Every structure is written in C-alpha cells, then in structure tokens.
C-alpha cells in the first residue's frame, strides 16, 4: 500500500478489484479544509474514464505493471503476435487489447506493451508513424467543397483525411492518437 500523494500520470491503481490507469492527477490544497488529490482514471479492461478524488495521504494500492518494448510480427486470426526485444520471447495479444492501435501496426513496428502478472493490459504506440498511401482519388484543382481534403487508405487499411495534393504511393506521417495527417515524408 502507498499513499495517494504518490499518484502520478501513468500509475496503475488497483481499486475494488479492477485496474485503473491514471490519465491526469492534481494535488489540491484549498484555503479551508484538508488537501486532496483529484484524478482522472481509465479502466484498463473496459476503457471507461472516471474522475475520482482521494484525501491527501489516503492509502491506495498500486498494481505492478511491467512495460517492455516489443516488435509486431504478424496477425494470427483475431490475435496479434509480438516479440520481446530483450529475450526474443513471443506473446499473443488479443484484438480487444490492441484496439485502435491495429490501424497503425505494420510488421517490424516497435510498441510498448504493459503487462500485469503476464497479462497484456494495453499498447503504447509512438506519437506518430510513417505509412504509405495505397489508394486515394486524384485531387481536382480548385475543388474546395470539402475544405481541401480527401479520403486516403493507408497500407494498414485504415482511412484518413489528407490534403488534395497528396497522391497514391506517398509516404505520410500520421498521428496515432487522432488519425490526423501530419505531413508528407521524403526519403
């Protein structure tokens, strides 16, 4: 057991038998009354986000979470297979844990996987990845009916919005958190 004063971003708490990832925390010392810690927590299994307040110094249980770098190898049915870069062991991660990260995974991409008692909890992708556009309609000069963007399909099969001047075969940088186009990449 530890104190609520030890809560930081990324801490994993065990509350009522469930694991919660700390998205935000704030230590508050009001003019009157006792200090407290205001947090925003996300349930690791369900993805539900809640706000929770702890009294300063309250006892909370931290879960032991190991974060390691893995390399994505291949998809096996609904599961994804990764290789630990330290000891080359392979683990299988269910699609429910991978979630939207599958939109940006290519073979040999590196990710960080959080494990609790050997069970994968979630994946952390880099903030942006470089992917190739496999299909997009040609942009028509002067077409501004949709704010100068068009749909494009990435090599992972995920669809994003890109500017009209981007063509098929172009390598682009994509934000993994929002699926936003960040720019063209020239080698």
pLDDT score recorded for residue 171: 92
Q: The tokens of 166 are what?
A: 């981007």
Cα–Cα distance for residue pair 120/112, rounded to 1 Å:
10
* Segment 112-157, tens digit of pLDDT: 998 888 888 888 888 999 999 999 888 666 655 556 788 899 999 9
In the Cβ-directed half-sphere of 71, how many Cα atoms lie within 13 Å? 10
Answering whether pTM is above 0.75, one says no
Locate 187 and state its tokens.
Answer: 């080698």
| Domain that residue 19 falls in | 2-62
The gap from C-alpha 79 to its chain's centroid, in whole angstroms, comes to 17
Q: Is the pLDDT of residue 73 over 60?
A: yes
Q: What is residue 166's predicted lDDT score, i.e. its pLDDT?
A: 84
CA distances to 57, 178, 187 from 19, rounded to whole Å, are 20, 25, 43
Q: Say if residue 25's pLDDT is above 70.
A: yes
Q: What is the pLDDT of residues 35-49, one digit of tens each?
A: 898 999 988 877 788
- Total structural domains in the chain? 3
CA 171 to chain CA mean position, Å: 22
Domain boundary among 108, 124, 140: 124
Residue 32: its pLDDT value, please? 85
Q: What is the CATH number of the domain that holds 25?
A: 2.30.30.30
């Amino acid at each position: 057991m530890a104190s609520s004063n030890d809560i930081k971003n990324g801490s994993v708490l065990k509350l009522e038998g469930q694991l919660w990832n700390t998205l935000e925390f704030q230590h508050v010392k009001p003019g009157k009354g006792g200090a407290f810690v205001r947090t925003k927590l996300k349930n690791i299994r369900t993805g539900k986000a809640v706000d929770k307040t702890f009294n300063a110094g309250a006892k909370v249980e931290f879960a032991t979470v190991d974060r390691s770098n893995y390399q994505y190898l291949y998809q096996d049915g609904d599961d994804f297979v990764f290789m630990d870069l330290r000891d080359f062991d392979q683990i299988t991660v269910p699609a429910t844990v991978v979630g939207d990260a599958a939109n940006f995974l290519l073979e040999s991409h590196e990710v960080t996987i959080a494990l609790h008692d050997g069970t994968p909890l979630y994946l952390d992708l880099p903030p942006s990845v470089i992917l190739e556009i496999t299909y997009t309609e040609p942009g028509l000069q002067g077409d501004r009916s949709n704010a100068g963007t068009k749909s494009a399909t990435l090599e992972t099969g995920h669809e994003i919005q890109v500017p009209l001047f981007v063509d098929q075969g172009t390598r682009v940088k994509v934000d993994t958190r929002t699926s936003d186009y960040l720019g063209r990449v020239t080698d």
